[in-house]
Amino acid sequence: MNDLSNYRKSYEKSELLETQIPEDPINLFHKWFYEAEDLNAAEEVNAMTVSTIGSDGFPKSRVVLLKKFNEDGFVFYTNYQSEKGKAILQNPNVCLSFFWPTVERQIIIKGTAEQTPDQISDNYFASRPDGSKLGAIVSPQSQVIPNRDFLAQNLSVLEKEWEGKDIPRPTHWGGFLVRPVEVEFWQGRPNRLHDRIRYQLQANFDWKIDRLAP
């Protein structure tokens, strides 16, 4: 067995105090996100882990890219017929998490996911390079395929078919908007006494703010 008990790091770069935070977690997310971007806290600052509960009852996590956020929530795009898409359509309760190690920060978001309107999915799909558009069409995401050549050959056929044409969004591909109900901000601190500030959405749509023990 590989013993990793000596893997340790002291977190000392910043702090998170109640006197420094806004009433709305989206505003704090905005601040942290662009600070992480400015400080090159990760190669892809918008990379986030999406956790879902599958039909087998097991949780599953994977990394996807955040494509938009605003006061409504957080948007990413996927194949609705993928394992991830089917899990969300069956159980819309999901968890998103961001980890930016360079700034010693993590954000965990619990929320409910819903499909974005067709127009929003259409607009985003239209902005993608043609290769990405065809990739979304050619890949039966999460299904068993015989080999890599299966995808390459089908892509070659589609490239010829759609050469010089506008490529429409397939109906099984689009966005999910995750509306947050709880957002936790984690700031690494010395001696493992990390700062954890949790926002919880209330019935009146205000946010209840608490400090959690690390």
Three-state DSSP class for residue 185: strand
Active-site residue flag, 192: yes
DSSP string over 66-83: --EEETTEEEEEEETTSH
Residue tagged active-site, from 192, 196, 198, 211: 192
Q: Give just the sign of the alpha carbon dihedral 196, 200, 205, 206.
A: negative
Alpha helices for the chain (secondary structure H): 25-38, 83-90, 118-127, 130-138, 148-161
C-alpha 162 chain-centroid distance: 31
Three-state DSSP class for residue 4: coil
- First-to-last alpha carbon distance for the chain, in angstroms, is 28
Q: How many CA atoms lie within 13 A of 139 on its CB side?
A: 15
| Residues with catalytic roles | 192
